Chain A
Amino acid sequence: MTGTEALWLSLSSLLLSFLVTIVLGKKVRLVRLTGTILISLGCFFLAWQGVMILGTGQPVELELKLAGIHIPVLIDGLSALFLLLLSVLALGSTLFAYGYYETTETKIVQKVYLALPVFIAGLVGLLTVDDLGPGFTLAWQLMAISSYLLVRWGRPIKFSRRPALVYLAFMEMAWVLITGSAFLAKGYHFGDSLAAIGQKLSGSGPVATAIFLAMLLLGFGLKTGIFPLGQLWIPGAYSTASPPVSALLAGILEKTGVFGLIRIFFFVARGAGAGFNPDLWGQVLVVVGTLTLFIGTVQAIKQSDYLRLLAYSSIGQVGYIVLALGSSLLAWHSGSPLAGIIFAGAVYHSLNHGIFKSLLFLTGGSLLHATGTRDLNRLGGLLAVMPVTGVLAALASYSISGMPASSGFVSKWLMIAGNFLAGKDSLLLTMAGIVALFTAAFTLACYVKFFGLAFTSAGASWKLKREIREVPGSLLVPKIFLAVICLSQAFLPAVYIRVIGRSLAATEGFLLTGVGPESLKTNPIGLRIFEGPALLAAVAPLAMLVLLLVLTFLARWLRQSAGAKEVRVPAWLCGYQDLNKNNVYADRNMFSDLKKFFRWTGANKNLVIDDDELPGSVSREEKGVIS
């Protein structure tokens, strides 16, 4: 089976899933089952196709003819890489959705299974079409309208109407910006391939090129969620859509924006020649990325709604990627070999963030499924009743915080370290690197809050009326699947970096020429991840883990050395009373001074309304916080 055949099979499975859902009508059990099987099959073929292209190193070029319109399709190494990410995440979300929608009402389930395959097909289209005209429009509209519907059906309509409409409005605005931008190229014909647009751009002068790039930065930036555009729709949409859909939105929809930015600034811009000023655009991306990552993460800290917290934190993480793309451009412009390393870091972080953010959203989904609340103030102590979900949440939180021996550490390290070294003579890059490092501590704070107050601490057993149980196996398996990939990203960075290098080698017209697998091995940074034989290269993060483990055993030995016995006691509250719902430390108190200090970053409104509450009846105010 060749790559192209696999792609067709994949799209056919998705189409079949759509049709079968229509035919089956109200038999929702069957709808869920067939939908899950067919979409999973589609994901399998998609992954097959990605592996084939990366394996052979041969890009696939096609020319589709639909009703007299020509649509150029190009699947090169970069597309294949993002398609692989898409297939993994779509598989995880689909499997999760099977169990998640078990208790949802019939009408919603039916509609969700109509929209889901269309949404995935739209994403496949966005990663494969090679124009800014008809093909792009088709893929974009499939993606936008189906995901608008999915957002709309994520919560009761009184909560979801507004965020869903806002989401659709911004997606359409982005579509206008992106398709409109191409008309700035002299002699542009609606439906030209990206390479052709690049060439035509070289004849249209620097001003037109600059406006072209600005429009595309805004368009794809809207989708990626750069500051301040992301704040307009991301928190609303991600917290409204049901968690398996949010996992796809945050995991891959956002990354198609990153993919677009890469395509524009590292491929099309190359064709533009002298009209493209890498210094200027590098600086723009660095400034925008730094603002995005800082403000997004600080805003995330302020949220008590864990789905909104995850949404804001997605904005923050994407900021890292945009910053890295910018500094890669700047490093390339100054002739530094670090450009390739920072770029690889950006792609690696896209893959990592896709996996752990999906895992976090699925964790959020499990919490919602088990407790029925999205309010961190009402949770606490869940680790005792939901141990598996808790451990997986800990892994994802640990990874996204970028702590040592985690996948987030490797990719953030590549980007930030590259920034510092490339910034040896550039104040901008050094400052951006410092803000990025500073923000890593905010990310940690954010996830300490998320994990600490939901899973450890205490409170859920008093504040929620229902009995909380671990979610069923069908909701655990997809999370375990993602967690395994997340671990492999942490401990086999050399393999992933090689795959990224390979995908770039199978991609024509890349700006940073010579950044194939070979040049990624010569690494001017202190750490030798890429040098030496593959086995040795893979063990650098492992060495740190071994160090930590050995010392943990030392600590354990020390603790046991005098044979101390453990005794279970109640918490001590100065002799007043037992721990109960009136005296546990609730989420709104966390970091209250810091929140006040960073009030100017916005998103201070922190009112959580659960699905079963009326908007007017909720009055949990921020008064009387304990600092």
Chain B
Amino acid sequence: MKVTAVIINLLYFLALAPFLEGVMRKLTARIQSRQGPPLYQPYLDLLKLLGKENLNAAGHPVFRLAPLLAFASILSAIALLPLAGQSSFLAHSSDLMTLIYFLTLSGFSILIGALASGNPFAGVGASREMMTIIMLEPVLAMTLILGVVRAGSLNLLTATAGVSSARGLSYFLMMAVYLVALQAFVSRQPFDIPEAEVEILEGPYIEYSGPNYALFRYTLNLKRMFYSWLFVVGFLGFWLPGSPVLNLVVQTVLILVLFVLISVVGATHPRFRMDQALRFYAALVLLSLVAVGLGVRGW
């Protein structure tokens, strides 16, 4: 029974994540006056990739291990989430810091896979990806810490509920910062610098193809959904209904709305340069520090 709860967590994310990418692709295409692929295209893409040859440019075991670890660690993070207002079965041996480190582990796997491939484009991509992780992880951490400061516990359920438990100045400031950072969390324009197709050819993923690439693609989809989910549950959590089923439905609708927003911003903005983005992220980090400070003061 308890283990099924974890499985429901995983299934919810696994089933929905590619669909959200479909929404994103369709909307982007429409904004750019194209027809766009059908909404279920990402599922087909994943299936197609799984059937292709697995090209290995490195010969390292690390190159082969990286996609597995990236996919497994993002799923581990998802398994810990209090979906639909229910504490996870794993909550007693994990907490907020486990979650943050699992997310970092997922990013780290992509990097190490990229470096293992030996391709200089992948190297550039890995370097950019790591810089993004360094500068953005604190924004995510501080959002949750705002909840910790309010709730006085590192348990994920209470901490996420804590974020929106008092809606003062700190809450609105943090929400604004998170919304801007979201575009970078999901690596869409103007912050898709680590991948930057036209510039460094998908950076970290350049040497990956077939099933390995499918795992990375899936990881990216799951990550995007995770960050949107966190916004909905963290900042709009007070507004979600109590019944688990209804809660899940409302959550899903809100995540969809958020994806519409991400797509619109992504389709209408050009990409930043890395040094510009770093300054931008630094401002976000400082603002979220201010928000936590206000939170400690009780505002």
Q: How far is the CA of A548 from the CA of B207 in the complex (A)?
A: 25
Q: B112 contacts which chain A residues (CB < 8 A)?
A: 448, 451-452, 456
List residues 582-608 of chain A with CB under 8 A from any CB of chain B: 583-585, 589-594, 596-597
Q: A626 contacts which chain B residues (CB < 8 A)?
A: 120, 124
Q: Select which of B60, B101, B130, B155 is within 8 A of A456 by beta carbon.
A: B60
A571 engages B119 (CB within 8 Å): yes
Q: Which one of B32-40, B146-154, B183-191 contacts A? A: B146-154
Q: How far is the CA of A590 from the CA of B155 in the complex (A)?
A: 36
Q: Select which of B58, B117, B137, B212 is within 8 A of A441 by beta carbon.
A: B137
Asked if B54 lies at the interface with its beta carbon under 8 angstroms from chain A, I say yes
Given contacts A434-B289, A543-B93, A552-B72, whether A525 and B154 have CB atoms under 8 Å apart is yes
Chain A interface size band reads 35 or more
A445 engages B134 (CB within 8 Å): yes
B72 engages A548 (CB within 8 Å): yes
Q: A237 contacts which chain B residues (CB < 8 A)?
A: none
Asked if A66 lies at the interface with its beta carbon under 8 angstroms from chain B, I say no
Q: Select which of B54, B73, B95, B141 is within 8 A of A437 by beta carbon.
A: B141
Q: How far is the CA of A561 from the CA of B55 in the complex (A)?
A: 16
B207 engages A571 (CB within 8 Å): yes
List residues 385-405 of chain A with CB under 8 A from any CB of chain B: 401-404
Q: How far is the CA of A444 from the CA of B109 in the complex (A)?
A: 11
A564 engages B54 (CB within 8 Å): yes
A527 engages B93 (CB within 8 Å): yes
Given contacts A420-B148, A527-B93, A572-B206, whether A457 and B116 have CB atoms under 8 Å apart is yes
Q: B67 contacts which chain A residues (CB < 8 A)?
A: 555, 559
Asked if B237 lies at the interface with its beta carbon under 8 angstroms from chain A, I say no
Q: A533 contacts which chain B residues (CB < 8 A)?
A: none
Asked if A623 lies at the interface with its beta carbon under 8 angstroms from chain B, I say no
In this complex, which of A433, A442, A444 has the most chain B Cβ atoms within 10 angstroms of its Cβ? A444
Q: B105 contacts which chain A residues (CB < 8 A)?
A: 403-404
Q: Select which of A381, A425, A549 is within 8 A of B118 by beta carbon.
A: A381
Q: Which one of B20-28, B245-253, B274-282 contacts A? A: B274-282
A384 engages B278 (CB within 8 Å): no
Q: How far is the CA of A431 from the CA of B138 in the complex (A)?
A: 11
Q: How far is the CA of A440 from the CA of B101 in the complex (A)?
A: 9
Asked if A383 lies at the interface with its beta carbon under 8 angstroms from chain B, I say yes
By beta carbon, the residue of chain A nearest B53 is A567
Asked if B29 lies at the interface with its beta carbon under 8 angstroms from chain A, I say no
Asked if B108 lies at the interface with its beta carbon under 8 angstroms from chain A, I say yes
B59 engages A568 (CB within 8 Å): yes
Residues of B within 8 A of A (CB): 47, 50-63, 67-69, 71-73, 75-76, 79, 90-98, 100-102, 104-105, 108, 111-112, 115-124, 126-128, 130-131, 133-135, 137-138, 141-142, 145, 148-149, 152-155, 201, 206-207, 210-212, 214-215, 274-275, 278-279, 282, 285, 289, 292-293, 296-297
Identify 6 new A-B residue pairs, CB closer than 8 A, beyond the known A430-B149, A554-B75, A593-B131.
A383-B60, A403-B105, A441-B137, A445-B131, A456-B62, A548-B76
8 examples of A-B residue contacts, CB within 8 angstroms: A384-B60, A434-B141, A445-B130, A526-B153, A555-B72, A566-B53, A585-B120, A591-B131
